[in-house]
Amino acid sequence: MFKAIFTNSFGILVSRVLGFLRDLMTASALGANIYSDIFFIAFKLPNLFRRIFAEGAFTQVFIPAFARSRHKGVFSAYIFSLFASIILIITLFVNLLPALAAKAIAVGFDAQTIEIAAPYVAINFWYLPLVFAMTFLSTMLQYKQHFATSAFSTALLNISLIGAIWLAEDKSQAEIVYYLSYGVVIGGIMQLGVHIYAIYKLGLSKLLFGGFRYMRVKSKIIKKDTRKFTNQFFPAVWGNSTAQVSAFLDTFLASFLVSGSISYLYYANRIFQLPLALFAIATSIALFPRIARFLKNKDEAKALAFLEKAFWFLAFLLIGSTVGGYMLAHEITWALFERGAFSAEDTKNTTAVLQMYMIGLIPFGLQKLFVLWLYAQEMQMRAAKIATFSLAAYIILALSLISPMGVSGLALASTMSGFVSFILTIRVFGTAQFFKMLKSIKSLYLILLTSLLIIILLFLKEYLKQFII
């Protein structure tokens, strides 16, 4: 288990380091203004669909269904054909009416800004079908306990965007956004290419090609599998969508605030996503196929043992990241972004947003771990209900906090909805079982290490003051 976690974590770390270099260059080239807002809007839309439709829900329903199916090749080919067709239709629709798509995600933009944003939205959306195909292949690789390709592939997107910014040097801001948009599509092609190669090397291409070859002939024998998959997928989409819909609403509401607010959310969220991806997402990706197999084989005790190990591993890392991220939020933002067009005022505003996000790192991270239990047990509808309550809490809190706190209020609302989601997930998992995990000497170690970390960070923060104006 830990080998897979470290493989994922290291791959994500490489990708995020390159991602921060990309963001550093983007902040320097564009700053926090209308053009940076436009690019983040254009890139957010396909990513929203990717995270809701393709990545989270698809993986968490496909792996248990794939494990159960007796005709894996035909089942895989059918599911890929179905979803690829739907995603291509959505992509073509967005390219025919890009202004409508841009307006849907940034209602606060005026007509002139929507007109400027529309072509960028159309280009960026082609990333969605590419990344869906990649996600499909990645899910099959995960079933085979191969994680390295998917973990490192995101680095290719960042390399493509870094190259785009480098080529766009001395161009106007409008041209830089064009270069970045085409860089997104090229990065998607590169990501898909390495996954195709990995599928071929592991011998899974024969399974897939055989599935496509016999799909029409044998489609009836997988009817039960596909019906069950479809019934579980749509609740899973909603169950996975809370954070993504919240991010969509963040952007929607931030478009009514001062120029640069969308960018503050983006830059802060990028920092917040580093420990979340590096620890929580990497752990859940590595753990899910094993838990699904144990539960399929009725071995709940072994599944719980793996879950408990992952819980303590994750709890130590997330608490340390939360304390460090909150206390050093200004220093981190200053070191990463304050140069070129990114001003000291931008650093101040991004820091306020980042601190509100960091408070939610522990509930968001641990919830990703425990929600695996629900999906492995095929409790997608319960997860969907939890997501509904969490999203409702976010909407109420966001509308309440945006006026007194501005853009940082949106981040705090997202964090508080994370606590709601975590508490409800633990109730379904089993409150007694959760507290049984906590009754361990490891809890005392956690408190002592956290206290020591706070002392060290206080000294570090005081020392760094001399370097930051």
State the Cα–Cα distance between residues 165 and 151, nearest whole angstrom: 24
Tokens of 191: 């990501």
Query: How many CB atoms sit inside 10 A of residue 120's CB?
Result: 24
Mean pLDDT of 145-161: 84
Q: State yes or no: pLDDT of 388 exceeds 60.
A: yes
Mean pLDDT of 215-225: 73
The pLDDT value recorded for residue 416 is 92
Tokens of 23: 């963001």
Q: Which residues contact 183 (CB under 8 A, 6 or more apart)?
A: 160, 161, 163, 164, 165
Q: State yes or no: pLDDT of 10 exceeds 80.
A: no
**Mean predicted lDDT score pLDDT of the chain:** 82
When mean pLDDT is compared across 54-68, 177-191, 280-294, the lowest value belongs to 54-68
The band of 217, judged by pLDDT with boundaries at 50, 70 and 90, is: low
Task: Give the tens place of pLDDT for each residue, 332-354.
Answer: 898 888 877 788 888 899 999 99
- b or e along 206-233 (b: 16 or more beta carbons within 10 Å of the residue's beta carbon)? ebbebbeeebeebeeebeebbebbeebb
Decide if 237 contacts 229 (C-beta within 8 A). Answer: no
Q: Any idea where the domains of the chain sit in the sequence? A: 1-238, 241-469
* Residue carrying structure tokens 């329903």: 61
State the Cα–Cα distance between residues 153 and 15, nearest whole angstrom: 8
How close are the terminal C-alpha atoms of the chain, in Å?
45
The pLDDT value recorded for residue 185 is 94
Most confident of 43-47, 57-61, 164-168: 164-168
Mean pLDDT of 117-127: 89
Task: Give the tens place of pLDDT for each residue, 46-56.
Answer: 776 666 654 56
Q: State yes or no: pLDDT of 172 exceeds 90.
A: no
